Amino acid sequence: MKPPEIDGDQLQRIIDQHRGEKWGLIPLLQEIQENFGYIPPPAIEPVAKALNLFPSQVQGVITFYAGFALKPKGKYVLKVCRGTACHVKGSRSIIRLVQKELNLQEGETSPDYQFTLETVACLGACFLAPTMLVNRSYFGRLAPARVTSLLDQYRRNKEDEST
Ligand code: FES
């Protein structure tokens, strides 16, 4: 399946809002990523032009910061914590379960662009270990049954949209 289409006008509008902002590269990239879920590679050149930078400088910043992605992600980005507090509370089995349920390895996106699976060092909610973040929603004290029902819920959202 092809990745979701990028609205070129919307992209241009975002870039224009930051035109000439010498120190505005990171906020601009953040805004692009917030709107599209990643930085579409064709955006690099117009971003560089708008801020009077070389495309290689823009590319360098994108690859330096782990938070920026050049590949489209799924509609639901799952970040399962593998930090110490979560590890002690069984995050490894949670990660394995999510991998099995979604048929994805760490860093992969499903072919229908519904799910991306990532793991992170700490979600900053250790008291809720083991934790997982789906887009902006935190889920804590996860047990396998809860993970399965959450994933079912997100899968159902997908089906509801296609009907
Ligand atoms: S170690 Fe998992 S939230 Fe901190």
Show the domain range for 153.
76-162
User: Is residue 119 within 6 Å of ligand 1 at its C-beta?
Assistant: no
Whether the CB-CB separation of 24 and 18 falls below 8 Å is answered with: yes
In a domain, 2, yes or no: no
**Rounded distance, CA 59 to CA 65, Å?**
10
**Rounded distance, CA 91 to CA 129, Å?**
8
Clarify whether residues 118 and 49 are in a common domain. no
pTM: 0.80
In this structure, how many other beta carbons lie within 10 angstroms of the beta carbon of residue 78?
23
The letter for the amino acid at 38 is: Y
Clarify whether residues 92 and 29 are in a common domain. no
Distance 140 CA to ligand 1 centre (A): 10
**Phi, psi of 73, deg, nearest 5:** -105, 175
**Rounded distance, CA 100 to CA 116, Å?**
13
**Rounded distance, CA 13 to CA 134, Å?**
28
Clarify whether residues 27 and 85 are in a common domain. no
Clarify whether residues 59 and 83 are in a common domain. no
Q: Which residues are 147's β-sheet partners?
A: none
Per-residue pLDDT 10s for the chain (163 aa) are 777 788 899 999 999 999 988 789 999 999 999 898 899 999 999 999 999 999 999 999 999 998 899 999 998 999 999 999 999 999 999 999 999 999 999 999 999 999 999 999 999 999 999 999 999 899 999 999 999 999 999 998 866 665 5
- From the list 139, 122, 117, 119, the residue with the least C-alpha distance to 86 is 122
Distance 113 CA to ligand 1 centre (A): 27
Distance 121 CA to ligand 1 centre (A): 7
Q: What CATH number has the domain bearing residue 59?
A: 1.10.10
- From the list 3, 70, 81, 74, the residue with the least C-alpha distance to 43 is 70
Among the candidates 19, 43, 64, a domain finishes at 64
